[in-house]
């Protein structure tokens, strides 16, 4: 680990709150057999992590990657915040390196907040003007976090009013067994609907009968109540 990464980790440990850490262990499902099994939390709120990122703006890509392999969850999240910041200020070749590093290190991006804080900002951003077919490869992965990276990455496209990739990925993930994927897909469909309700509804009318309930609830959360109830009751 680089000297700077070690210093950041030291600062994180100093900021830790044991009581909050215990709460986080439960909230992020770190028990045996749960999606976050074995993860270690220090108990630090996100605003404090972002303040630390501002403090260490001099961190390099390698510093962030060194921090990303840490056992502590908040260290990995801080590393991803740093990578996003470095990515935003990098030139084309620098962005490519960070994108490649991100995919090589997905095993450390192993919880929903880690994915959601970085996937669209790095993977989606990078692929926006390139071939996006690798997202379909990730969506078909056996590894839950690669599948979540795929659908969350498409949020970058949604924000540019490009929806087809999200719909394609949503169709691939329609019968996923994991609740965290149901929530992510429903969320992205809702974001599509926030910009184009007809586009979202065209997808929903075709698929809502076979869609997991959680996915549907997330997707229609912002609908008028009568329309939302019609979907839930199967009356569309």
Residue range 32-90, pLDDT digits in tens: 888 888 999 999 999 999 999 999 999 999 999 999 999 999 999 999 999 999 999 99
Q: Which fold has domain 118-236?
A: 1.25.40
Domains of the chain by residue range: 1-107, 118-236
Residue 34: predicted pLDDT: 87
Domain 1-107 carries which CATH code? 1.25.10.90
Residue 70: predicted pLDDT: 96
Residue ranges in the chain whose pLDDT is less than 50: none
Residue 236: predicted pLDDT: 87
Q: How far apart are the first and last CA of the chain?
A: 56
For the chain, percent helix, then strand, then coil, each to nearest 5?
A: 70, 0, 30
Give yes or no for a contact between 135 and 153, defined as CB atoms under 8 angstroms apart: yes
Residue 1: predicted pLDDT: 82
Give yes or no for a contact between 132 and 165, defined as CB atoms under 8 angstroms apart: yes
- Which pTM was predicted? 0.95
Give yes or no for a contact between 61 and 48, defined as CB atoms under 8 angstroms apart: no
Residue 66: predicted pLDDT: 97
DSSP 107: G
Torsion of CA 216, 120, 144, 78, to 10 degrees: -120
């Amino acid at each position: 680990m680089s000297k700077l990464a070690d210093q950041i980790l030291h600062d994180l440990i100093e900021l830790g709150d044991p009581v909050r850490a215990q709460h986080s262990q439960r909230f992020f499902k770190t028990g045996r057999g749960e999606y976050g099994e074995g993860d270690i939390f220090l108990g630090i709120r996100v605003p404090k992590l972002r303040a630390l990122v501002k403090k260490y703006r001099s961190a390099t890509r390698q510093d962030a990657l060194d921090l990303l392999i840490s056992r502590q969850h908040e260290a990995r999240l801080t590393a991803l915040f740093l990578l996003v910041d470095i990515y935003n200020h990098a030139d084309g070749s620098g962005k490519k390196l960070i994108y490649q590093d991100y995919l090589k290190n997905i095993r450390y991006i192993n919880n929903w907040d880690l994915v959601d804080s970085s996937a669209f900002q790095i993977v989606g951003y990078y692929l926006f003007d390139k071939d996006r077919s690798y997202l379909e490869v990730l969506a078909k992965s056996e590894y839950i976090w690669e599948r979540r990276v795929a659908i969350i990455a498409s949020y970058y496209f949604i924000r540019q009013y490009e929806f087809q990739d999200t719909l394609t990925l949503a169709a691939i993930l329609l019968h996923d067994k994991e609740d965290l994927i149901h929530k992510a897909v429903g969320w992205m469909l809702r974001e599509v609907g926030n910009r184009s309700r007809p586009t979202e509804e065209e997808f929903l009318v075709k698929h809502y009968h076979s869609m997991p309930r959680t996915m549907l609830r997330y997707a229609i959360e912002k609908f008028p109540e009568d329309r939302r109830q019609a979907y839930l009751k199967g009356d569309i």
